[in-house]
Amino acid sequence: MRAKGLEAAIRVGGAVVVTAAAVLAAVIESFLVPYYIAGVAVPVAGAIAFVANWRLAALAVYWTGGRWSVLLTALAWFAVVLAASMPTEAGSLVITSGFNGYMLLLAGTAGIALALWQYFRPRPKAPRRSVDGPRVAAQATPTATKESRP
């Protein structure tokens, strides 16, 4: 009984930590949107968003043991990015509508889509084994004998 309680606490704690990490990653990525080197827009925020969303989802599944925890990281990231892309009453934005802003939104969403595909894609069903095991399958396959050769 005590081990089940500890396992549940680890799962809930893992979910909380991964959700907080997704929020923190989204805030950092949002403030990296206006990153330029020598006047050229460098989409470093988009690259970080792709990798962070994909791997945080994997960490969430590992810590919680359920594939539905991918949605925790996705919803937390989307909430922060949508809030950062809305103008305030003064009209200021964190995520601007430019190359880097669009790359952040596109790459972050692609990372989430990859994680969702990875954990929710339909898997092919394994072939059914008979009661007798592999011997029946071996007998059902035709073998080349001396009589069957031309």
What are the boundaries of each domain within the chain?
2-121
In the chain the first and final C-alpha atoms are separated, in Å, by: 69
Rounded to two decimals, the pTM is 0.75
Q: Whole-angstrom Cα distance, residue 77 to residue 25?
A: 8
User: For 78-137, how does the pLDDT look when each residue is reduced to its tens digit (9 = 90+)?
Assistant: 999 999 999 888 888 888 888 899 999 999 999 999 999 999 988 888 777 766 655 555
What letter represents residue 33's amino acid?
V
Closest CA to 16 of 67, 80, 59: 59
